[in-house]
Each structure stands twice: as C-alpha cells, then as structure tokens.
Amino acid sequence: MKKMYFGSNLKMYKNIEDTIRYLKELASLTADISREEIELFIIPSYTTLDRAARSVDRSLVKLGAQNMCWEEQGQFTGEISPLMLQEIGLDLVMIGHSERRHVFRETDEEENKKVKCGLEHGFTTLLCIGETAEEKKYDLGPEVLRTQLKIGLEGVDVSHIGKIWVAYEPVWSIGVGGIPATADYAERMHGEIKKCLSELFGDAGKEIPVLYGGSVNPGNAEELIIQPSIDGLFVGRSAWQADRFNELIRMAKTKAEAEGR
C-alpha cells in the first residue's frame, strides 16, 4: 500500500501546555500504527515549538513551523529565521498557507523564496496552494494551481524533490463556513497538480506527495483518501482533539486498505 500522510495545522490555537498534552496524547494513541504506512505531522504555533521538539517522540509525530523568513538573519522585525528553526530541530516548514496568502497578502514570489530557503536548510517543505471561490466560479482552478506551482517551485533543484510536499487547500473550503471540496473535484485538481509537477520535474515529480486540506472531517475523510491522486489529508478543526484525529486517521486508513489503495 502507498504511504498515507496525515497532518494538522494548529493555526493560532493552543498554548504551550495544551500543545504538549495534545502531541503526547496523539503520539500515544497512534503509536501502534506503523510509520512505514503513515506519516503523521503537526504544525503548532511558534511559541510551543521548542518545548514540543524536546517532549515529543519525533519518530511518531513530525513537527513543523507555520511560516519562515527567506533570510538567515537581518533587519526583518517579527520574522523567524531558518537558522532559528534549525536550532530547535524541526522536521518541516509550511509555506504559503491560504491564511498567509489572503490575510497577510503574501505573494507567489515570496513563497518561492521561502520554499528554496526551506529546502536549502534541509526542511521538508510543505507548499500550500489553492484557488479562491471567485476563481472556481470561472473554473480557473487548474490555471491558478499551475501558476502557484510554477512560481512557487521556480528554481528548485531536482535534488531537493524528496523534501517537497504539496497541500491543495481551496480557499473556499477552509475553516468555519468553508465548504469541503467533493471527492471528485478534489481528485480532478490533484490530477492537475500531479500533471504540472511531472512537467516541472519529470518522473521525480511523481514522487511528490499531494495532500488535500479544507474542512476534512469524519464524514468525508474516507471518500477523499481513496482517490488515486490524493496522498494524504491535511486537517484543521477535525484534528484538534487527539482522540478525534486518531479516529479519523484509523477510519481513513481502514477504508484505504479495504479499497486496495
């Protein structure tokens, strides 16, 4: 069976104590699942990362940062450097989350600088992409995703491919009031993403995992995970209680096995 990816972005929720408790509970609840079969990762807030990295079994739960500056140091007030994240010893960095792009107005060019910097500093680099509701209305999803990938991954060396992950998170599907993508629509967009990654990187591009995110919940996780082009689920609200996330992961995994995914 193909490896499945399950992760959660904790956004600006959970203080240090709550995050550590959550991570330990999640690690313990899922410890019996082979990490050959699943990759589990959590992206908590910056202030929790140092303690989280020291208190959690990283062979069970990989840890990531929600954003990162493209420079190692300098006059960048409020930013976090890749060297600072290396010092903590993180596994991954997330770049270009929808809320970074749409609330904080980050551009594809900025995401590209961050992606290259993340890879050069040895982090697994999770690039998030997705179209807005307005773009979807005109069926521009494929064009938008293609643009975000071509600019976001511009200049990335093929030798770094093994460390790139992509998350497809349509803007209209994320968070409170978001409408989850149907499995058919998500599969179609994932197909476009995979096609574009192959164009950019040849056969190596086929190895890049593409995760779906946006209102994933216990009611749609099974249908999404069995789609041939969906390699994993990137979950917000439905993952923020460890026991609920554990159940969602098991439900999706059982379904995927039953379908011979």
Question: Taking CB under 6 A as the rule, does residue 225 contact ligand 13P?
Answer: no
CA distances to 75, 93, 139, 146, 226 from 121, in Å: 20, 10, 37, 25, 33
Site for ligand 13P in 95-114 (CB under 6 A): 97
Q: Which stretch binds ligand 13P (CB under 6 A): 29-37, 119-127, 155-163, 213-221?
A: 213-221
CB atoms closer than 10 angstroms to residue 114: 25
Q: Which stretch binds ligand 13P (CB under 6 A): 17-25, 105-113, 135-143, 209-217?
A: 209-217
Minimum distance from residue 207 beta carbon to ligand 13P (Å): 22
What is the per-residue binding string for ligand 13P in 155-174, x denoting contact by CB under 6 A?
A: --------------x----x
Beta strands in the chain (DSSP E): 4-9, 38-43, 62-65, 92-95, 124-129, 164-168, 210-213, 232-235
What is the per-residue binding string for ligand 13P in 13-52, x denoting contact by CB under 6 A?
A: ----------------------------------------
Q: Among 150, 163, 195, 237, which residue sits at the site for ligand 13P (rule: CB under 6 A)?
A: 237
Which residues does the annotation mark as catalytic?
A: 97, 169
Say how many residues touch ligand 13P, by CB under 6 A.
14
Q: Read out DSSP for 54-90?
A: HHS-TTT-EEEES---SSSSSS-TT---HHHHHHHT-
- By the 8 A CB rule, do 145 and 164 touch? no
- By the 8 A CB rule, do 90 and 81 touch? no
Sites of contact with ligand 13P (CB under 6 A): 9, 97, 169, 174-175, 178, 213-216, 234-237
